Amino acid sequence: MISLANPRAAVACGPSLRNLLAGIQPYLLLLPAIGFVFSITIYPIANLFYIAFHSTNYFEIGDWNGGGNFAPLFSASGAKSFLASSTFVFASDVLTLSLALLLAVTMEAPLRGRGLLRTLIMVPWLVSQVVTALLWQALLDANFGPLTHFVQSVFGWTVAPLSDETGAMVAMILANVWRSYPFALVLILAAIQSIPSELYEAARIDGASRWAEFRCITLPMIARTIAVVLILLTFEYFTLVTLPFILTSGGRMRQRMYYRSAFGGKHSRTTILDTQQRRAWLCSY
Amino acid sequence: MFRDRVALWMYVVVGLASLVAILPLAWLFVLSLDPTQGVASTSTELSLRNYAAVVFDSFMGRYLVNTTIVAVLTVICTLISACLGAYAASRFRFPGRETVMVGLLIASMTPVIAVLVPLYAYAAKLQMLNTYHVRIIVFTAWQLPGTLWLIRAFLDAIPIELEEAALVDGCSRFGAFVKIVLPLLRPGLIAAGLIVFVYVWNEFIIAVSLASKQDMRLVSVGLYFYLSDFGVEWGKIAAGAIISILPPAILFFLLQRHLIHGLSAGAVK
């Protein structure tokens, strides 16, 4: 167990043909993976840089255009889109993480039927963004949506969440949190379960309260996982297209998400192409 | 007494969470059985008419077949390439190993929409729009880095001594991999395969961009076009949505033990 791969590395050191083959073997094994990823992500991104600084007419790429393609990003509507995206990402992050954390801490205790409940909670992860968007559109429908009915009968508010800007934002955040907290929950739960139980036993002997246990043991031990989950979620939310695209479509209020407007019907096809490229360029970095 | 009350509260929290997860879908199911499109919410008549309309009067069957073909082939391509690469990364020490692995991970964080325009242009140039293989290639590339890291984590947990013993006994390297490592890797492969399958099944942007013909659509795209095909007929849309959830849901319930194990083993490290 001293070293996993050392014996083989030693074999690959000599200059003979056999050793040369052994030396390139790992690269050959990695070749399919590198090939796929290079041709589908790395090369197109390089291409994107090129297109982003040139004028375009459909797929014809014209002259050097400097930063001209980027101008709309710094306009009022660009700023509005960016603000909408940031609100969406921040609110979704906070809600998803706190919900997942609360549930993970609760589910860590050996409850009966925990397996079944965990399975049920995982179900939204299986549901596509398209179905999630359609489902929440129906749930929040002003005429027959049960959630709108519920709010109306309990609080007496008449709401039509998908017909104004704030409502659409709330709807997007709700649907998004519903869709993504199971995944965060599984990762955080796994981290909590890998904490050695001796730590809790020691704390209990010293008379620590449950809150102290959580604050001084659980939280520091899973801080790294939380950071990783937060990064993954933020990446995902910032690049989310399908959910806001469908949830806010269908003749209702068109919420201007960052990408949403790149896809929207207002622009001519040419504009769609290069706005998208510019935006994409900016978003990758 | 104290412990009982805590347990009770825990049940309340977890029970509420599962209700929140399940209730919307349960309501969707009820909506799909309601022939009046849910507008007259007082009606108690239930029928399978929406399902009949979706199955017989639309392309749903075709969409399901398309998606199954693309999803299964993507899973196979991804698992084979990921196994080869993960084996190299886990069992060899060579210059640039971590650079390649981290590079792949960073590449996988590219937003899909960023490369959509160049990809569409290439696919058009190569006459590959509206084909199965272009989507299989793109989906595979998209899922490979994550799968590679996941399988590598599983491989790292399998002691190398097992393979060395097989090599000493005269087994070839490939033989040792197939006979010793693969069986031990099965939970990891199942978890990774399920994640890739669910991803392909639910993907929308790539699927909608690279295929415009109706008979080449994948299920999530087909479902989206129901809005325009049927108008806003919620009963039919709900029925289509329920049908589209079923295949991944069945796989999930069969394989969930492996999935949760796999997610925890791979992603946290």
Beta bridge mates, A56: A61
Question: Chain B within 8 Å of A139 (Cβ-Cβ)?
Answer: yes
Average pLDDT over residues B129-158: 91
Distance to chain B for A277, nearest Cα, Å: 7
Tokens encoding B66 = 């398309």
Would the CB atoms of A281 and B114 count as touching at under 8 Å? yes
- B87 CB neighbours in chain A (<8 A) are 29
- Cβ–Cβ gap B141/A262 under 8 Å: no
Q: The pTM is what? A: 0.84
Per-residue pLDDT tens over the stretch A43-93: 888 877 777 777 665 566 667 766 666 666 666 766 777 788 888 889 999
pLDDT at B80: 96
Please, which pLDDT band fits residue A158 given cuts at 50, 70 and 90?
Answer: confident
Cα–chain center distance at A49: 24
Interface of B with A in 194-213 (CB under 8 A): 198, 201-205
Q: Is B140 on the interface with A (CB under 8 A)?
A: yes
Q: Which two tokens stand for residue B178?
A: 């197939």
Phi, psi of A26 (to 5 degrees): -60, -35
pLDDT of the residue at A11: 47
Beta bridge partners of A57: A60
Structure tokens at A94: 């906070």
- Nearest chain B CA: its distance from A229 CA (Å): 9
Q: Is the alpha carbon torsion for B9, B15, B18, B22 positive or negative?
A: negative
Share of chain B above pLDDT 70, in %: 90
Chain A residue at shortest CA distance from B269: A225
Distance from CA of B179 to the nearest CA of A (A): 18
Q: Helix, strand, coil proportions of chain B in percent (round to 5)?
A: 80, 0, 20
Please state the φ and ψ torsions of residue A245, each to the nearest 5 degrees: -60, -45
In three-state secondary structure terms, A60 is strand
Domain boundaries, chain B: 58-267
Rounded to whole angstroms, how far apart are CA atoms A151 and A154?
Answer: 5
Q: Can you give the residue ranges of every domain in chain A?
A: 6-52, 70-284
Interchain CB distance below 8 Å, B141 and A32 = no
State whether residue A207 is helix, strand or coil: coil
User: Do B201 and A106 lie within an 8 Å CB cutoff?
Assistant: no
CATH number for region A70-284: 1.10.3720.10
Q: Tell me: the pLDDT tens digits for A165-221?
A: 788 888 889 999 999 998 898 888 888 888 888 888 899 899 888 888 888 888 898
pLDDT tens-digit readout, A243-264: 887 887 643 333 334 333 333 3
- Right CATH number for B58-267 from 1.10.3720.10, 3.40.50.300, 3.30.420.40, 1.10.357.10? 1.10.3720.10
What pLDDT is recorded for position A191?
85
- What the block records as the tokens of A157 is 């508010």
Cβ contact B261:B191 at 8 Å: yes
Across the A:B interface, residue pairs with CB atoms under 8 Å apart total 260
Mean pLDDT of chain B: 85
